[in-house]
Structure 1
């Protein structure tokens, strides 16, 4: 059996088939995190949920401050998938979507609340410079090549 043929039927390695990407919990987030790490950013995920006290949550509190983290880092509704920080402590969030995924109403509403909160309470100099003014969340739509 050729390698490409094995990859397509193994269910162990994500292939170009979108339905196989979907079966692996966290694959999109991991793939997105690797993308941003390769661009020189520090990336955390699962930074939400105050009771958990994970290193990712503690990093978010360190960068955002306790008040902003209290607003953003909730378990419900869950914030965007990735928290991305550059070397100057400027940050943004990334919502990762696989080929057939869409933002749902709760995600859109919470993302708007996050951006409104940050625009009101966080200096724009803390926002990653590649994002348009007033935006703190990037949508990363993955698609098989």
Structure 2
């Protein structure tokens, strides 16, 4: 599960949540499917409102580094991954979109629950006339089991 927030762009602050089920079919490669929750807080000089929708997506990740022993900056099990993600809105939500995402992720894997911190770039291609396309650098925090 991952939550992310991006800076305001075109009057909109996108807040997104991803619930992902993934597998590791071969060593270092992960693939998964996600349920996407989208909440866009909107404010301009005349009004405040929000856009809410949901989506589905797929992702693919690759493990760049995994610490095999404790070191100065790393402990055994810590890893760095890269990830690419695509998502598409579904249902009758307020916003129709395609989502493209790329991130680098640090995973802190020293217990049963692993924590992650992601820094990435996301482009949302809006299919709604009220909301323009937007792209953001974002921070994400994740919890995995």
What interval of TM-score do these two structures reach, taking the shorter chain for normalisation?
A: under 0.3
- The answer to which structure has the higher strand fraction is 2
- The answer to which structure has the higher helix fraction is 1
